[in-house]
Each structure stands twice: as structure tokens, then as C-alpha cells.
């Protein structure tokens, strides 16, 4: 299948490469030339613009930073709505606000273009492995059409409801991830300050009820003081903003999410916005005057 892929950042690059490995033809575009160069070197065809991708492909994937960028690519002059053929299917795999997904869907529908909102979880490592989790909102028939393609990039592809439901599920995911990382950081800080090797604490608790995928991924990074981003603090701040906005819109208080958002904002103020979200441990290091590391 010929697939148009727009957005070749930290996630989009490995995702598009996995499409190529699965035998699909990929037509790619990104404003960042280095992203284009890397994916083209793997066998993708370069496009000169969003419009060129939309004209050439009837199956489109977008992987963009946030709601404004998806809205621009989809609906602004020279974008998908202006150039895609009626019947084209857009699978937006960005993490955006659910309301924005519905608005973009409605704008495209007026032009005869179909859309799924299909955000992902797993970060760069699982994007590289092709084992992402994809949460999808949209029509069942569109999901059925897209699922075999998405399965080449993911271990789990689940439709959770109509348009916007995918991003609602992603916001729920990001709440659990953020609070788990913060709890892990707090636990590592406590162990360190109490004079107990945090690595041994990790080994002791990982097999019990406290154990989780988040712990397995992030505890080693904390212990190694590795803040190379698999998922940046800045991006999680974006998600937390969407979480709090959505919570306010539907009258759900989210006090734990609000607390972790402020911790992330403090890290951003310390120039750690580009660090991995496991750098939440640095927040505790600063306020408790300690350093978490392997014994």
C-alpha cells in the first residue's frame, strides 16, 4: 500500500521505517530536512509539501506535536482538506485534545475525507521495536481498514469508541504514566535519603504489586542518571495540559495530575524540558538535596 506519512520526529521516523520494513511504499514529508533525509535513506519517497503527500496517497498518517499543528496540516489552505481525494483516510497518530480531534474530523468530513484519531503509547523504544500501543477513535469500518497497516508498527491496536475516544484513552494513559514515574521517583528519593541502595530497593519491589512497565523502563534510567529522551518532559507537559483542560471541560477534578504538571513545569524552568520524563527524579533530588544513583 502507498502510505503518506507527515511528521518525522522522534516517533514518526521509526514508525515510518517500520512501514517500509513491512513492504509498504511511504511518501514522507516533514519541515525538518534531517528527518526527511533519514527516512528517505531507508527507502521512502520525499514529498515537497503536505499538499503533494495528500494528492499522491489515499491513506495518510500524521504524527505531529499537538492540536494546532494537526489542525494546520489537515484544514489550513494547502493542507489535506484542500488536496486529498474524497474517500481518503487520515489516521492521526498525534496526541491531541479530544475536542480538537472531533473538530478536525468534522472539517475533513465536509470534504469527504475520513479520519481516525489514533494516538500511541510506548515512546521511542517501542516505536523502534514496532510494539507500540495504539488507541483508536472513529468509525468501525475505517478502523477495520487501518488496523492491518497499524499492526506493522504496534503490538496492540484497539478501537475504544467514536472520534475523540482515542485521544481520551491516551490522556488516561498519560495520567497513569506520569503519576507512576513521579511515585517511582519519590520512592527512589526516600530510599536514597534513608541510606538504602535504591537499586536494591528496585530489585526488591519490582516483582510485587508495585512492579509495572513504567518501573521497568524508568528505574534503570533514574539509577544510571540517563535523561536522554524517549519521551520529553516538554511533550508530557503538553499532554498534561490537554488532560487538565479536558478534565475541567467535563467537570472531573484531577488533583494528582495537577501536582505532577507543576513538578514538570519546575523541571522545565530548570532547562530540563528536553529531558526524558524519568527526569522527574531530578525534582526530588533538588528539593531533598540528594542524588539517586546505582550504589
260 in a domain, yes or no? yes
251 in a domain, yes or no? yes
173 and 129 in one domain?
no
260 and 210 in one domain?
yes
18 and 69 in one domain?
yes
* Residue 210 zone, left/alpha/beta (φ > 0; ψ -120 to 50; rest): alpha
Q: What is the pLDDT of residue 230?
A: 82
293 in a domain, yes or no? no
274 and 211 in one domain?
yes
The active-site residue, picked from 13, 17, 170, 232, is: 170
Q: What is the pLDDT of residue 212?
A: 96
242 in a domain, yes or no? yes
Beta strands in the chain (DSSP E): 2-6, 25-29, 45-46, 59-62, 89-92, 114-117, 120-121, 132-137, 154-161
The full length of the chain comes to: 295
Does residue 218 have an active-site annotation?
no
60 and 123 in one domain?
yes
Q: What is the pLDDT of residue 203?
A: 98
Residue 7 is placed in which grid cell?
A: 511528521
Q: What is the pLDDT of residue 82?
A: 96
Q: What is the pLDDT of residue 94?
A: 96
Three-state SS at 212? coil
Which CATH number goes with the domain that contains 129? 3.40.50.720
188 and 61 in one domain?
no
252 and 113 in one domain?
no
294 in a domain, yes or no? no
Measured between alpha carbons, how far is residue 24 from residues 1, 142, 242 in Å?
Answer: 5, 19, 33
> Which of 127, 162, 197 is the endpoint of a domain?
162
To the nearest 10°, the Cα dihedral for 276, 281, 285, 291?
-90
> Which of 130, 162, 194 is the endpoint of a domain?
162
Q: What is the pLDDT of residue 169?
A: 96
158 and 30 in one domain?
yes
284 and 187 in one domain?
yes
295 in a domain, yes or no? no
102 and 9 in one domain?
yes
Torsion sign (Cα): 251, 257, 262, 267: negative
| Spans of the chain, pLDDT less than 70 | none
Q: What is the pLDDT of residue 231?
A: 87
197 and 155 in one domain?
no
Q: Please give the tally of structural domains in the chain.
A: 2
208 and 151 in one domain?
no
Q: What is the pLDDT of residue 219?
A: 98
| Cα–Cα distance measured from residue 94 to residue 64, given in angstroms and rounded to the nearest whole number | 5
The answer to whether 58 and 65 have CB atoms below 8 angstroms apart is: no
Domain range for residue 83? 2-162
| Cα–Cα distance measured from residue 18 to residue 12, given in angstroms and rounded to the nearest whole number | 10
Read off the pLDDT of residues 145-177 as tens digits, 9 standing for 90 and up: 999 999 999 999 999 999 999 999 999 999 999
229 in a domain, yes or no? yes
Q: What is the pLDDT of residue 252?
A: 97
| Cα–Cα distance measured from residue 267 to residue 280, given in angstroms and rounded to the nearest whole number | 7
Amino acid at each position: 500500500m502507498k502510505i503518506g506519512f507527515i511528521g518525522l520526529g522522534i516517533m514518526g521516523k521509526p514508525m515510518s521505517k517500520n512501514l517500509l520494513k513491512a513492504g509498504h511504499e511511504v511518501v514522507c514529508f516533514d519541515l525538518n530536512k534531517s528527518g526527511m533525509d533519514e527516512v528517505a535513506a531507508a527507502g521512502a519517497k520525499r514529498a515537497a509539501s503536505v499538499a503533494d503527500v495528500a494528492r499522491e496517497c489515499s491513506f495518510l498518517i500524521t504524527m505531529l506535536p499537538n492540536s494546532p499543528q494537526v489542525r494546520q496540516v489537515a484544514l489550513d489552505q494547502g493542507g489535506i482538506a484542500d488536496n486529498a481525494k474524497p474517500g481518503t483516510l487520515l489516521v492521526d497518530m498525534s496526541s491531541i485534545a479530544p475536542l480538537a480531534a472531533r473538530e478536525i474530523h468534522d472539517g475533513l468530513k465536509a470534504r469527504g475525507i475520513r479520519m481516525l484519531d489514533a494516538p500511541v503509547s510506548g515512546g521511542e523504544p517501542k516505536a523502534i521495536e514496532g510494539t507500540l500501543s495504539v488507541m483508536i477513535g472513529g468509525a468501525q469500518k475505517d478502523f477495520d481498514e487501518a488496523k492491518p497497516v497499524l499492526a506493522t508498527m504496534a503490538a496492540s491496536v484497539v478501537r475504544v469508541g467514536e472520534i475523540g475516544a482515542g485521544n481520551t484513552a491516551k490522556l488516561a494513559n498519560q495520567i497513569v504514566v506520569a503519576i507512576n514515574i513521579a511515585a517511582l521517583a519519590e520512592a527512589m528519593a526516600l530510599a536514597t535519603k534513608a541510606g538504602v541502595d535504591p537499586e536494591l530497593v528496585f530489585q526488591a519491589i519490582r516483582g510485587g504489586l508495585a512492579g509495572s512497565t513504567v518501573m521497568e523502563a524508568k528505574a534503570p534510567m533514574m539509577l544510571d542518571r540517563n535523561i536522554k529522551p524517549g519521551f520529553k518532559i516538554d511533550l508530557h507537559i503538553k499532554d498534561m495540559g490537554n488532560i487538565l483542560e479536558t478534565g475541567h471541560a467535563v467537570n472531573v477534578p484531577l488533583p494528582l495530575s495537577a501536582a505532577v504538571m507543576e513538578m514538570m513545569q519546575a523541571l522545565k524552568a530548570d532547562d530540563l524540558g528536553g529531558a526524558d520524563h524519568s527526569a522527574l527524579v531530578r525534582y526530588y533530588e533538588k528539593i531533598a538535596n540528594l542524588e539517586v544513583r546505582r550504589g
